């Protein structure tokens, strides 16, 4: 009986060590993702505009995704993330972001944008700051009830069946609509660890993650 117990305990320790090792490889990327989200959200706060040679040709030469406004909150937030990564990559200044981003609108989103340009005037609409455009788009294409559901899912997110890669991916995805919940590294790490299985939580906490 003692031998069987020791074997089970040894097996459990090996599994915990293996998952902890895998998490050690995943956590840095997860934190990088969160920092990129926060950096993108705060990019327009700088008071010192940078010189840029970003052009529409540069923008269109890189991979981009159309936005049609039909796929709900998660798709909208993923599109924001893709656009902001693209803007950072090509060093696109804020005064060009709305013009470039709206060029990939399709279907419902394109119809909405045409109406906005008609109402506001084309030049005024195109000169709209990127953060203001995102705010308008969130109100139009992401309902308050959807955001509440995503926030609730984020708070209750747990790692199931050792699927740490899937857990990390969903954690990053859900952190986009609720940046106020991960605005510090310590809060993000704490929330991430609380979603891990109990035995893994203890192992990760013992390593004092930074």
Task: Label residue 63 by pLDDT band (50, 70, 90).
Answer: confident
For the ranges 120-129, 133-142, 148-157, the maximum mean pLDDT occurs at: 120-129
Mean pLDDT of 182-194: 84
pLDDT tens, position by position, 84-125: 889 999 999 999 999 999 999 999 999 999 999 999 999 999
Least confidently predicted of 6-10, 117-121, 157-161, 204-208:
6-10
Q: For residues 193 and 209, is the Cβ–Cβ distance under 8 A?
A: yes
Closest CA to 76 of 131, 142, 169: 142
Sign of CA dihedral 78, 83, 84, 90: positive
The Cα 89–Cα 16 span in angstroms is: 38
- Residue 117 or 65, more confident: 117
pLDDT at 186: 82
Confidence of residue 54 (pLDDT cuts 50, 70, 90): confident
The whole-chain average pLDDT of the chain stands at 79
How many CB atoms sit inside 10 A of residue 158's CB?
Answer: 9
**pLDDT band for position 127 (cuts 50, 70, 90):** very high
Say how far apart CA 196 and CA 173 lie, in whole Å: 17
Whole-number Å distance between alpha carbons of 118 and 73: 26
pLDDT of residue 44: 46
């Amino acid at each position: 009986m003692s031998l069987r117990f020791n074997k089970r305990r040894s097996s459990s320790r090996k599994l915990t060590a293996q998952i902890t090792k895998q998490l050690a490889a995943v956590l840095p990327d997860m934190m990088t993702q969160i920092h990129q989200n926060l950096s993108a959200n705060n990019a327009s706060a700088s008071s010192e505009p940078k010189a840029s040679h970003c052009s529409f040709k540069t923008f269109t030469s890189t991979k981009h995704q159309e936005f049609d406004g039909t796929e709900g909150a998660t798709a909208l937030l993923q599109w924001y993330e893709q656009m902001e990564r693209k803007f950072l990559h090509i060093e696109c200044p804020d005064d060009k972001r709305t013009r470039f981003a709206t060029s990939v609108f399709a279907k419902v989103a394109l119809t909405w944008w045409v109406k906005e340009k008609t109402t506001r005037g084309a030049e005024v609409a195109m000169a709209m700051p990127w953060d203001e455009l995102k705010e308008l788009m969130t109100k139009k294409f992401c309902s308050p009830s959807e955001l509440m559901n995503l926030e609730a899912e984020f708070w209750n997110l747990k790692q199931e069946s050792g699927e740490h890669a899937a857990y990390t991916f969903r954690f990053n995805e859900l952190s986009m609509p609720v940046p106020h919940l991960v605005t510090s590294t310590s809060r993000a790490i704490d929330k991430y660890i609380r979603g891990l299985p109990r035995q893994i939580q203890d192992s990760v906490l013992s390593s004092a993650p930074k």
